Structure 1
């Protein structure tokens, strides 16, 4: 699940020699792998965290969403900072912040310290990811670049699969703190090795759209807070209504700021391009459902069914693999049968797989209904992921590919935040009181969302056959 820098450059004033290029790619991939891992690694650890730190459902939801919120909300700013300050400086600053924040999060003694650490991890990730991909793209050329981007793209499926397995192993072994501590030695080693191989490039003088970054991140934070509060206080309570209204005001402010800015963070005219709009929509839905499934499934298995963290991680392994297989097949299908057919087929499969989960039992074998349902649903999501990025990138002009990828990747992280917030709210009674009805309601909503999205995709997604070779992929 790799991120694509919103303004890729093709100049290469200081390309490292071949042996250094391979080491550079390896080190940047390790750093990116940690960022991807941290989206899913926490899911299996949530019940243990809740017990140790006395966290309620609201706080548990924020453990997942605060990271993806800052990662997505600030990623476009991170890409711009790489241009202004130099990608090598931005990579090192992002990696140092992410590593330090991982230590803080692992040492957390309560919700405030835990959330602060997760927020700082997200800021570090938003600095590191687009700058690292910018360096990969400018350090390799021709066939070598295609191979390097292929390795970068492959991190996505393996990262989510490794995340659930590693999260289960670490939580069941040394404890949940180690899902964060494990980043520290890796980050320190990468920080020690990277300065020797990072190419130095002259920064490009440019203005930063700080207001845009603040408004879009604050708007999404208000949206998620309102959604999460609705689960506890009800949809008519002012503590839920006011943040949701505030989100609309902040988003409107963001749109106005982008139109007025000479160097906007996000060119809103990109949304008049049907391929970009379709790609952003598909990415939002696919990520919301996938990260939501990991969240719901982890809590259901451990709180309701009594599974340990490691057993939960193992049970999710075929689910994560199904996502990767779906993405691999999707990259073949998009070129053969077209974006529209692949997207609709993926969403229909997701809906079909989720339908049995709407009748989840409180007992009985999870291998009879939960696991097959999630495998089919996430296989469908894999198809949708690839269609989202290839539609947005392959069907716009080459000079707009960087902007399009920035838009789609922002919707990727935002989708994870919003999906967990909504499904956690619908499943509130299940998460807090161990009632299976809360989980079945959340899975019912997921099935309806996938089916409705398939109908929207019929109208929105272009009927074309983009070629997927050689372009950067999103995770």
Structure 2
């Protein structure tokens, strides 16, 4: 029952991005979102989730992980209900941000409760294997589920579906999960708030620039606020006794380049899902169910390629896997950048989907191993938490940059619409031009990841291809199995 409860929670949190993704075109019409403003439906969740994730993990240590789970699920469930009842864009975005707060408190408890309730090594290994399977298949389940809910009911049910699940968790968790030992620690509220607000201001600046241009006063003010807040954040973290973000982890060359690589791949991956969803439904006329099913090959390839890459990891080494994965993603995104309004799914989209999925799964295994190698035992939790933070924050920031590219390309395309197109044809042309430009920039980001692998140090893999390579003194630990983060 403990395993069922925590895996249900993990599934709910994993699904919340992909299940909403499929409903984006319906959301845009229902709540009158602008094409660029629509990205906030994802970014508002990712920013609060990522920005407060380390604080949520600390809260679980201090208050007890069962209590942390209950607090997080309560907030998440209430926010889901509020989101489903939304009658304006502002109300929905507030609900999505609140969902992120709940997720930040609930998500860190999953692995912690598995560790405390499954003390036998074999039982714990089985539990972690099921956790990895849920995490890996969650995207595909969310895409299909989101399509079914949106098509058969309405977009509101991609949010309402969390309410009965959340209530079931709140009832059963106190019955079957024992409270964990509390650990005294401080709360770095200043660091958590300044980092979250700073990243939000930065993302807002990019999205505002997409709508109003780089010379807009509010755009410039947002970037200025972001700089001030992030500088204050760094100051707080360098002086705090118990900082929420251990900045010393960035001092290592491998981890600094690894975090940047992770940002690039999340930027490319999130934008691929975001823009393809709209292209399939708005340009090609797919129903939400059809759009969800169209993404299944991509999600399956991510899962398969990550498993295969993990087996090749000892021989090839994480740098090679990262470079190969980034190259495959670049090829897939360049292929996507050739889309036209008349593009067929089988002839023009299935191929790049499979290649991009192959690359993403391979790259994530490589970069996760790089980030988690050589970590001192007492810093494993902080490093793992920071990796997850970078996934969420990187996804939000990368999507904002891509939306800026999309907005600029769309405005330019509006002045170059071919003669003879009707209103639908003109709209399809403009959206396609913006989408393909975003894909081209995504390919540029993944290509930069290949260059980053050239300045990474080799990671010893116990007799593999990179064994014996020059390494830093602190690189003495063994790499942590990366599958759970996928």
What is the CA–CA distance in structure 2 between the aligned matches of 1:307 and 1:253, rounded to whole Å?
47
SS in 2 for 1:270: helix
What is the CA–CA distance in structure 2 between the aligned matches of 1:167 and 1:93, rounded to whole Å?
26
Distance 1:197 1:279, change over 3 A: farther
Structure 1 runs, 4 residues or longer, greater than 4 Å off: 429-433, 466-472
Partner of 1:49: 27
What is the CA–CA distance in structure 1 between the aligned matches of 2:292 and 2:213, rounded to whole Å?
33
TM-score, length basis structure 1: 0.91
Partner of 1:10: none
Tell me whether 1:460 sits opposite 2:456 in the alignment.
yes
Partner of 1:420: 399
Partner of 2:6: 28
**Higher alpha-carbon deviation: 127-136 or 431-440:** 431-440
Partner of 1:185: 164
- Structure 2 unaligned regions, length at least 5: 415-426, 463-477
Tell me whether 1:111 sits opposite 2:107 in the alignment.
no
Partner of 2:473: none
What is the CA–CA distance in structure 1 between the aligned matches of 2:245 and 2:73, rounded to whole Å?
24
Distance 1:31 1:386, change over 3 A: same
Distance 1:306 1:127, change over 3 A: same
How many residue pairs align between the two structures?
Answer: 453
Q: How does 1:359-398 map to 2 (within 5 A)?
A: 359-398=338-377
The alpha-carbon deviation at position 284 of structure 1 amounts to 1.9
**Higher alpha-carbon deviation: 369-378 or 156-165:** 369-378
SS in 2 for 1:368: helix
Distance 1:462 1:205, change over 3 A: same
What is the CA–CA distance in structure 2 between the aligned matches of 1:235 and 1:376, rounded to whole Å?
35
Given the alignment, which residue of 69, 92, 111 partners 1:91?
69
Distance 1:412 1:364, change over 3 A: closer
> Contact 1:146–1:471 at 8 Å: present in 2 too?
no
Given the alignment, which residue of 181, 185, 191 partners 1:202?
181
Tell me whether 1:317 sits opposite 2:289 in the alignment.
no
Tell me whether 1:78 sits opposite 2:81 in the alignment.
no
Partner of 1:19: none
**Higher alpha-carbon deviation: 383-392 or 46-55:** 383-392
**Higher alpha-carbon deviation: 280-289 or 298-307:** 280-289
Distance 1:296 1:217, change over 3 A: same
Tell me whether 1:345 sits opposite 2:360 in the alignment.
no
What is the CA–CA distance in structure 1 between the aligned matches of 2:483 and 2:128, rounded to whole Å?
6
Given the alignment, which residue of 421, 442, 446 partners 1:450?
446
Given the alignment, which residue of 455, 463, 485 partners 1:474?
485
Deviations 1:128-147 (A, max 9, x none): 00122211122223232222
What is the CA–CA distance in structure 2 between the aligned matches of 1:96 and 1:296, rounded to whole Å?
32
SS in 2 for 1:74: helix
TM-score, length basis structure 2: 0.89
Partner of 1:404: 383
**Higher alpha-carbon deviation: 372-381 or 75-84:** 372-381
What is the CA–CA distance in structure 1 between the aligned matches of 2:227 and 2:460, rounded to whole Å?
34
Distance 1:283 1:461, change over 3 A: farther
> Contact 1:319–1:374 at 8 Å: present in 2 too?
yes
**Higher alpha-carbon deviation: 27-36 or 193-202:** 193-202
The alpha-carbon deviation at position 58 of structure 1 amounts to 3.6
Tell me whether 1:331 sits opposite 2:299 in the alignment.
no
**Higher alpha-carbon deviation: 351-360 or 243-252:** 243-252
Distance 1:204 1:468, change over 3 A: closer
Deviations 1:336-395 (A, max 9, x none): 210110000000111011111222111031221222112211220111112222222233
Of structures 1 and 2, the larger Rg is shown by 2
Tell me whether 1:156 sits opposite 2:167 in the alignment.
no
Tell me whether 1:40 sits opposite 2:18 in the alignment.
yes
Work out which structure has the larger RCO, using CA pairs closer than 8 Å and 6 or more positions apart in sequence: 1
Deviations 1:62-105 (A, max 9, x none): 10110111110000000011111111111001011111111110
Given the alignment, which residue of 266, 272, 277 partners 2:256?
277
